[in-house]
Structure formats: C-alpha cells, structure tokens
Amino acid sequence: MRLATVRLHGDPTTRRVVADHGAGWTLLDTALSSVSELLRHPDWQGQASGPRVDEQDIIAFENPVQDPEKVICCGLNYRNHILEMGRELPEFPTLFAKFADTLTGPTSAISPPAAAALDWEAELAVVIGAELFQASSEQAKDGIAGYTVSNDISMRDWQRRTLQWFQGKAHDATTPVGPVVVTADAMDPAQGLRITCAVNGEIVQDSTTDQLVFDCPALVAYVSHFTRLRPGDLILTGTPGGVGMGMEPPQFLADGDLVTTAVEGIGALENLIVHQPT
Amino acid sequence: MRLATVRLHGDPTTRRVVADHGAGWTLLDTALSSVSELLRHPDWQGQASGPRVDEQDIIAFENPVQDPEKVICCGLNYRNHILEMGRELPEFPTLFAKFADTLTGPTSAISPPAAAALDWEAELAVVIGAELFQASSEQAKDGIAGYTVSNDISMRDWQRRTLQWFQGKAHDATTPVGPVVVTADAMDPAQGLRITCAVNGEIVQDSTTDQLVFDCPALVAYVSHFTRLRPGDLILTGTPGGVGMGMEPPQFLADGDLVTTAVEGIGALENLIVHQPT
C-alpha cells in the first residue's frame, strides 16, 4: 500500500491523507491531516480505505510525516562507500538528530537563509508505526510502518564549524521527505532497492539499499535502546558515496540547481535550490 | 518572578503551574499544565498571578518545561575550563540536540537502562519566551523568558562509540530540569552566578556563569540563525570543568549516588542515580 499527505482541488488549503492499495488513490478520514496522524491509530491499516480520488485532483504531495516527535539520522552506513574510503566497517551507528521543522515537502524549494555550501545526501527513510522501546530486531521490523525517500541536505559550512554535525544538518525546511510512504508489507530494502541522487539530471549518487551496514530493523532497534520511538517518527538510514564534499574539488549546490532523489519502488523528490546570498 | 510546574495536595495526579512574585506561591490558571504552556500565551506575564498556595501544599516540583519542541545543548563553553585544557577559545558554539523525552524532574531518579558510564554536567538552561528566527543578540535577550538549572547527565560509554555525541546525550529521562524558572527580569547570568555540581555532597564542579564564551543572548541568537525557536524551547549552555571523564582515573556515577546541581538564585536539582546492570 502507498500512503500520502496531499492537497486536493476543491480544498487546497487543507491537508488530506490518501491511500493506494494498487487500484488508485482513495481518500481517508478527512479528520486526518497527515500520514503520521493516521499511523497513531492502533488499527491504522484497517482505516486505510475510502472513496476514490482522481489522480488529477491531487494538486501536490506534501511531506507525509508532518509532525514527528523524533527525527534521527545515521551517518556512514553504506558498506561500499565506507570500504572505498579505506575505512573499517563501524561497530556502532553514528547518529544525530533533526527536528520536525527541518523537514520539507517532496517538491519544495530549499533555501536556507544563512548557509553557503549546500550538499546532497540521498537517503532511504524509515517511518515508525508502533511504540518501540528496547526492541529486538524482530520487534523493530514489525514496528516499521513503511519507507519513504529523503535527502539529508547538509550545510557543509555550518557542519564543519565544530566537531558536532548537528548545526549543519538542522536548518529549517532543508530535508525533503516523500512523496509517499510505501508500507513495509509491500517492499523490503534488504532486497537491494536502487537509490539515486541526480543534480540537474546528472546522477551523482547511485547505490542499492542492501549496502546498509546497519539495516532498517537493526538501526531502529539500536535507537530504541536509548529512546522510545513512536508512530510517525522518522529514521534516516544514511547516504551512499558520491556527495559533493567528497569530490575533487568539492562541489556544492548552486542557485537554481534541481536535486532529484529517488528510491526504487517509492518514487522521487524534486527540489529546487534557491541559494540566498550570505 | 519564579515559575514552577508542581503537584499539589488534594489533586496530586494533575500538574499545576504556580508563580512567586516574592511574596509566596500563587496558583495560575488551572487549565495550564506546565510553565512552557504558560509561556505560549503572548501575555504570559499578565497571567502570572492567582490565589495563594501554601508552600506545604506543594508535594513535588516537576520539570517546569514539559514539552519543548526543541532542546539544544552547547558543549565547550566555559572559558576557564577551555583555557585550563590548553585549548583555544572556539569561534563557533558546538551544538547537539536532545528530545523532550530526554528531560526529567528536579528530584527524579536517573536510571538509563542500557548505559554504564554515567557522568555529570551541571548547566544553566535558558527557557525561550518568544518566537525567534534570525534574531540579533538584543532580540534574543528580549526573547528569553528565564533561566533554570539542568544537568546534561551523559552516558560516556555511548557517547564515545562514534564521533557524534548525540547517542550518549539522549537517553530517555536522564536530563533533570528545574526546580523553578526564574524570569529574566529577576536575574542576569552575565553577572556571574555560581554554578556547582556535587556528588554525595562533595563539590566536583564549581564555576560562575560569567565564564560562558557564548553568553545566553549570543547562544540563542546563533541557534535562531538556523532554526526557529518558540516559547518553551530549552537551550543548555554548557558545563564547567570538573566532569568525571576528565579525572584521572575517570570517575563515573555509581548506583545510589546523589547528584546535586545548583545555580545561584535559581535553586538545586537533587537526583539519585539508580544504576541498572547492563
């Protein structure tokens, strides 16, 4: 099943939640304003049907998870990238946090007002569907509602100011998410889904999700050992090789660049960079 | 003025908000369940009075800011500690994040289930009282509602697993906050308030808040240049020298240790460590 938070013709100011079981979009309970809100219903899978929505009535897809309490990101998690850099595989995941305010929509312009060196980081994101605390990998797997696409757009000038990456990773409205959540029964990242990032149509990152050192259940389980996860929370699983910072010379996003981030079986984000003067 | 989130005799299951203008505690609007909720009223200073509360009716002080959207912490911010370590004063603040779930009450036991090497970090915490985005230091100063005491209890075993400190800093219910918020009109940390941490009564940290490299308005302004701050958000300003990790040999908190964290003019946290087996 696919789930999305959208705006519809006829009532464009209100967010709606739609589901697709394979036969086209249907409108869910109109009291819901995001997929994350849907996931907070214990029986959310039973609620995910409704009257048919014509695809042409969808004006825009929004960030499906509007209000996560927790957004936790993993760095250094693609095996082939780590090995090509001559590093050893890590024993523990490298983690940092973002806020709900850091997120933005799948087609939103990205325009941090005070940053100069914007870089791309295509990522598979896990959407939590149950309360998880000190979970085993099996429990974590059962607690994953689904998967979506994200790009951990990084302000490298801020990220490099200190040893802690956070301030380069948490500029408001810089991490696009979407366009849909594909439920966990319909896809398995361990099978190796293609993940790509393209800048102005040129592919700069190209890998597969079976290269994750800490796979999705392992990562969710690890996080749940220090903090409780709840429905709608988001875990970004790390980015493959090919970021701009690693090029020689380093390459950053310029005003007007279009960043396309895709994961096989989910869809693509299309975000224009509007680079403000600093 | 002092503000607090408390539980009162007669209705111990409900959180109440009380204020003290210097003549004892008064009960504010009973619809409020935390000081952070009070601060979200644009005219919160006008609302901060009510019927008298006998001090003996207060069963317990709770974390005054129950539900911040953002908890942002600064590392390496005490001048004398940085200089005694032979380091240069930093050009930028080192920042990382916690969650609302990381916080706990001023007298709560601290008991992370999966961590072994607990350390103390006494901190002055800033409570935000206005919406701030890209604020100047003057605007930031005006947007500070007040100050409280915190201890950035750190799980050093987790913190050292990777280069990013976050996973050692964000274990649920490990950062005590309180016991009260003293409003910004009643105190000025730039004057040099004594800040101490004691373990079982023995003082291990002892400094003054005029030693902050990035003072409170500067730190709040800096953060507001990448993310919007809102009433109830919390900024932890860093810890002075004397943490257990810096001792030779390193010293960590044992089962049954009592950690007392105090800032002059605000009050003290008293937290018992209940050290679970790992």
Residue B278 forms contact with A (CB below 8 Å)? no
DSSP A111-138: --TT---EE--EEEEEEE-S-BSS--HH
Q: Please check the confidence at residue B27 and state whether its pLDDT lies above 90.
A: yes
* CA distance linking residue A243 with residue A151, whole number of Å: 11
**A71-272 CATH, one of 3.90.850.10, 3.40.50.720, 3.60.15.10, 3.40.710.10:** 3.90.850.10
**Helix, strand, coil tally for chain A in percent (to 5):** 20, 35, 45
* Chain A interface mutation, best of B95, B99, B110, B164, highest count of A Cβ atoms under 10 Å: B164
Q: Please check the confidence at residue B82 and state whether its pLDDT lies above 90.
A: no
Chain A closest CA to B46's CA: distance in Å?
A: 30
pLDDT at A278: 61
Residues paired with A233 in a beta bridge: none
Chain A closest CA to B100's CA: distance in Å?
A: 9
When CB atoms are compared, the residue of A114, A158, A163 closest to B163 is: A163
Kindly determine whether residue B162 and residue A94, on different chains, have CB atoms separated by under 8 Å: yes
Residue B190 forms contact with A (CB below 8 Å)? no
Domain ranges of chain B: 2-62, 71-272
Tokens representing A124 are 């598979």
Q: What is the mean pLDDT of residues A156-180?
A: 97
pLDDT at A257: 97
Query: Using a CB-CB distance cutoff of 8 angstroms, which residues of chain A are in contact with residue B213?
Result: none
Task: Summarize pLDDT for B111-157 with one digit per residue, the tens.
Answer: 988 778 999 999 999 999 999 999 999 999 999 999 999 999 999 99
In B, minimum Cα distance to A102 occurs at B227
Residue B173 forms contact with A (CB below 8 Å)? no
Residue A224: DSSP 8-state:
H
Kindly report the backbone phi and psi dihedral angles of residue B60, in degrees, each rounded to the nearest multiple of 5, phi listed first: -155, 145
DSSP B201-255: TEEEEEEEGGGBSS-HHHHHHHHHTTS-B-TT-EEE----S--GGGSSS---PPT
- Burial class for B241, CB neighbours closer than 10 Å (0-12, 13-18, 19+): middle
* CA distance linking residue A90 with residue A264, whole number of Å: 26
Q: Please check the confidence at residue A74 and state whether its pLDDT lies above 90.
A: yes
Chain B closest CA to A102's CA: distance in Å?
A: 8
Query: Using a CB-CB distance cutoff of 8 angstroms, which residues of chain B are in contact with residue A114?
Result: 134, 225-226
pLDDT at B42: 87
The CA-atom distances, in angstroms, between B85 and each of A28, A163, A278, B145, B195 are 59, 17, 34, 33, 19
Q: Please check the confidence at residue A139 and state whether its pLDDT lies above 90.
A: yes
pLDDT at A81: 81
- The complex's ipTM? 0.96
Read off the amino acid at residue A142: D
pLDDT at B170: 97
Query: Using a CB-CB distance cutoff of 8 angstroms, which residues of chain B are in contact with residue A214?
Result: none
In B, minimum Cα distance to A229 occurs at B101
Q: Which residue has the tokens 């916690």?
A: B98
Q: How many CB atoms lie within 10 A of CB A241?
A: 17
Residue A116 forms contact with B (CB below 8 Å)? no
Residue A85 forms contact with B (CB below 8 Å)? no
Q: Give the range among A172-176, B11-15, B132-136 with minimum mean pLDDT.
A: B11-15
* CA distance linking residue B274 with residue B272, whole number of Å: 6
Residue B248 forms contact with A (CB below 8 Å)? no
Q: How many CB atoms lie within 10 A of CB B79?
A: 14
Kindly determine whether residue A162 and residue B94, on different chains, have CB atoms separated by under 8 Å: yes
CB pairs under 8 A between A and B: 104
Residues with Cβ < 8 Å from B113, sequence gap 6 or more? A134, A225, B276
Residue B171 forms contact with A (CB below 8 Å)? yes
* CA distance linking residue A182 with residue A4, whole number of Å: 9
